[in-house]
Amino acid sequence: MDELLIILHSTFRMTAPIALAAIGGVFAHRAGVLNVALEGMMLVGAFTGVMVSYLTGSILIAVLAAVLSSMILGLLFSVFGITLKGNVIITGLAINTIVLGLTAYILQVFFGQRGVFSNPKIIGLEPLDIPILRDIPILSDILNNQTPMVYVSLLALILAHFVLYHTKLGLYIRTVGEKEEAAYSVGLPVNKLKYISVLIGSFLCGLGGVNIALENVTMFVEDMTVGRGFIALAAIFSGQGTPIGTFIFSFLFGFADALQIRLQSLNIPGAFIQMIPFLFIVLVLTVVGIISVRGRTSRGIKNE
């Protein structure tokens, strides 16, 4: 029982970065923009957060800077992918590659570090001990003493659901993604809506980066997002683009991650244990795929 609570506690911790990126990515997804730059946006958030925290000693400024850097990438992505109508996949991959190279480069040239940047001067975000919550049994074991971004990820889920299904903005974003001509025919600002969707995504990706670099650890490691942006994409698709579905799949993937960490204490080769989350994702995606294909009677590509 205790073991389970510990794993669940750490599941929420591991879910937070995936869920933040994924819920953010839901907006672009629903606006019909495939944003594969979630990975790069998170990584830049992690890097900027660490650097600014180290340089200023202020965690608030660090978080703001992380979000800002991620949103600059979002803007860059939008200019090339939406305004200039470039291929969004290539644009996104280019951003990922640039971030990966640039962070390593800056680290080495300006800080003289290779691969890892760790320093006592980096201030991180501490777990919160929440009144009321701490007194509720079980729930307190799972949800209390989490870092701020874990709570932000839950808040993001609720807000995303509200915005998407109960506000004009959400309705317009869904319209743009589903039937662009319908949006044009009633004079909606299609490109502006796509920009907003991408930027909401990069905002949350920035926070996801903060979670990875300033909450779970207080350091920067080259490529420390290790594909979480792509896992977030998988969560979006598996969750069919709804915030709730996306969160559920993020949670599943987070669970696999937590399990992996837990199993590291066992006497099994580390490389194998580290495969668990990814094997798990392949498994989940296979099941999702099989379910959607089963029962189809028409041959060849999907007709409807």
Q: How far is the CB of 289 from other proteins (least distance, A)?
A: 15
Spatial CA neighbour of 23 closest among 35, 5, 40: 35
**75 strand-pairing partners:** none
Binding residue for other proteins, selected from 175, 197, 211, 260, defined by CB under 8 A? 175
Q: Which residues contact 94 (CB under 8 A, 6 or more apart)?
A: none
Q: How far is the CB of 208 from other proteins (least distance, A)?
A: 25
Cβ–Cβ < 8 Å for 18, 239: no
Q: How far is the CB of 162 from other proteins (least distance, A)?
A: 8
3-class DSSP state of 170: helix
Contact status: 155 vs other proteins (CB under 8 A): no
Phi–psi pair at 116, nearest 5 degrees: -130, 140
Binding residue for other proteins, selected from 171, 217, 248, 273, defined by CB under 8 A? 171
Q: What angle do CA 280, 285, 289 make, to 5 degrees?
A: 150
What DSSP assignment string belongs to 26-95? HHHHHTT---TTHHHHHHHHHHHHHHHHHHH--HHHHHHHHHHHHHHHHHHHHIIIIIS---HHHHHHHH
- Residues that contact other proteins, how many (by CB under 8 A): 24
Binding mask 176-215 for other proteins (x = CB under 8 A): --xx-xxxxxxxx---------------------------
Binding residue for other proteins, selected from 167, 191, 264, 286, defined by CB under 8 A? 167
Task: Quote the CA–CA distance of 70 and 24 in Å, as a whole number.
Answer: 12
Binding residue for other proteins, selected from 85, 112, 265, 296, defined by CB under 8 A? 296
Binding residue for other proteins, selected from 79, 129, 158, 166, defined by CB under 8 A? 166
Task: Quote the CA–CA distance of 11 and 257 in Å, as a whole number.
Answer: 7
Taking the alpha carbons of 150, 155, 158, 160 in that order, is the dihedral positive or negative? negative
Q: How far is the CB of 179 from other proteins (least distance, A)?
A: 5
Contact status: 297 vs other proteins (CB under 8 A): yes
Stretch that binds other proteins, among 45-53, 138-146, 216-224, 290-298 (CB under 8 A): 290-298
Contact status: 126 vs other proteins (CB under 8 A): no
Q: How far is the CB of 36 from other proteins (least distance, A)?
A: 24
- Cα Rg of the chain (Å, integer): 20
Q: How far is the CB of 295 from other proteins (least distance, A)?
A: 6
Stretch that binds other proteins, among 104-112, 174-182, 196-204, 283-291 (CB under 8 A): 174-182
Q: How far is the CB of 211 from other proteins (least distance, A)?
A: 27
Q: Which residues bind other proteins (CB under 8 A)?
A: 166-168, 171, 174-175, 178-179, 181-188, 295-300, 303-304
